[in-house]
Amino acid sequence: MSATTSTPVGDTERVRAMLGSADAGRKRTDRMMTGLIYAAFVVAMIPLVSLLWTVVIRGIERFSPYFLSVSMRGVFGGMDAGGIYHAIVGTLVITLVAAAISVPIGLLTAVYLVEYGRGPLARVTTFFVDVMTGIPSIVAGLFAFALFAIFFGPGVRLGVAASVALSVLMIPVVVRSSEEMLRLVPNELREASYALGVPKWLTIIKVVLRTSVAGLTTGVLLSIARVIGETAPILITAGYADSINFNPFEGRMATLPVYIFTQYRQGTVPCAPGALDCVEDINLMRAWAAALTLILIVMLLNLVGRLVTRFFAPKLR
Amino acid sequence: MAQRIDVKDLNIYYGDFMAVQGVSMTIDPKSVTAFIGPSGCGKSTFLRTLNRMHEVIPGAHVEGKVEMEGVDLYGPDVDPVAVRRSIGMVFQRPNPFPTMSIRDNVLAGVKLNNKRISRSDADDLVESSLRGANLWNEVKDRLDKPGSGLSGGQQQRLCIARAIAVKPQVLLMDEPCSALDPISTLAIEDLIQELKQDYTIVIVTHNMQQAARVSDRTAFFNIAGTGKPGRLIEMDETATIFSTPKEKATEDYVSGRFG
Ligand SMILES: Nc1ncnc2c1ncn2[C@@H]1O[C@H](COP(=O)(O)OP(=O)(O)OP(=O)(O)O)[C@@H](O)[C@H]1O
Ligand SMILES: [Mg+2]
Residues 114-133 of A with CB under 8 A from B: 118
Contact check, Cβ <8 Å, B97/A211: yes
Share of chain A above pLDDT 90, in %: 71
Buried-state track B4-13, b at ≥16 Cβ within 10 A, e below 16? bbebeebbbb
Chain A residues with CB under 8 Å of B114 CB are 202
**Distance from the A300 Cα atom to the nearest Cα atom in chain B, whole angstroms:** 26
For residues A193 and A11, the model is more confident at A193
Amino acid at B188: I
Contact check, Cβ <8 Å, A186/B112: no
Share of chain A above pLDDT 70, in %: 96
Mean pLDDT across chain A: 90
Shortest-distance Cα residue to atom 4 of ligand 1: B14
Length of chain B: 259
In this structure, the number of other CB atoms found within 10 A of the CB of residue A79 comes to 14
Closest A-chain CA to B164 = A196
Domain borders along chain A are: 2-60, 65-312
The domain defined by A65-312 carries CATH number 1.10.240.10: no
Right CATH for B5-95+169-254 from 3.40.50.300, 3.30.365.10, 3.40.640.10, 3.40.50.2300? 3.40.50.300
Buried-state track A206-240, b at ≥16 Cβ within 10 A, e below 16? bbbbbbbbbbbbbbbbbbbbbbbbbbbbbbbbbbb
**Residue A37 backbone zone (phi > 0: left; psi -120 to 50: alpha; other: beta):** alpha
Weakly modelled stretches of chain B, pLDDT under 50 = 1
Express each pLDDT in B150-190 by its tens digit.
988 899 999 999 998 998 989 999 998 887 788 878 888 98
Ligand 1 neighbourhood includes B42 CB (under 6 angstroms): yes
Predicted confidence at residue A47, as pLDDT, reads 95
Q: How confident is the model at residue A154 (pLDDT cuts 50, 70, 90)?
A: confident
| pLDDT of A288 higher than 70 | yes
The rounded Å distance from CA B12 to ligand 1 centre is 11
Amino acid at B46: F
The residues near B86 (Cβ < 8 Å, ≥ 6 apart) are A197, B3, B68, B168, B169, B170
Closest listed residue to residue A55, CA positions, set A293, A316, A300, A306: A293
| pLDDT of A57 higher than 90 | yes
Shortest-distance Cα residue to atom 24 of ligand 1: B39
Report phi then psi at B113, rounded to 5: -90, 10
Amino acid at A133: T
**Residue B62 backbone zone (phi > 0: left; psi -120 to 50: alpha; other: beta):** beta
Predicted confidence at residue A1, as pLDDT, reads 45
Atom of ligand 1 nearest to the CA of B42: 18
Residues A238 and A282: their CA atoms lie apart, in Å, by 25
Q: Does A192 touch chain B (CB under 8 A)?
A: yes
- Cα A21 to chain centroid, rounded: 51
3-state SS, residue B236 = strand
Express each pLDDT in A222-235 by its tens digit.
899 889 999 999 99
Predicted confidence at residue B1, as pLDDT, reads 46
Q: How confident is the model at residue A7 (pLDDT cuts 50, 70, 90)?
A: low
What average pLDDT score do residues A107-134 get?
Answer: 93
Cβ-Cβ contacts under 8 Å between A and B: the total is 85
Report phi then psi at B223, rounded to 5: -130, 135
Length of chain A: 317
Residues A259 and B150: their CA atoms lie apart, in Å, by 55
Torsion sign (Cα): B118, B122, B128, B129:
positive
Express each pLDDT in A12-28 by its tens digit.
888 888 787 767 888 89
Residues B228 and A74: their CA atoms lie apart, in Å, by 84
Q: How confident is the model at residue A68 (pLDDT cuts 50, 70, 90)?
A: very high
Shortest-distance Cα residue to atom 3 of ligand 1: B14
Contact B216, B2 (CB under 8 A): no
Choose the closest CB to B113 out of A188, A190, A198. A198
Choose the closest CB to B97 out of A118, A189, A199. A189
Residues A282 and A62: their CA atoms lie apart, in Å, by 9
Closest A-chain CA to B101 = A315
Choose the closest CB to A195 out of B89, B96, B113. B89
Choose the closest CB to B56 out of A194, A206, A211. A194
Predicted confidence at residue A8, as pLDDT, reads 65
Residues A128 and A141: their CA atoms lie apart, in Å, by 18
Sheet containing B5-14: order of strands: B71-72, B60-68, B5-14, B17-27, B230-237, B217-223, B32-36, B200-204, B170-174, B87-90
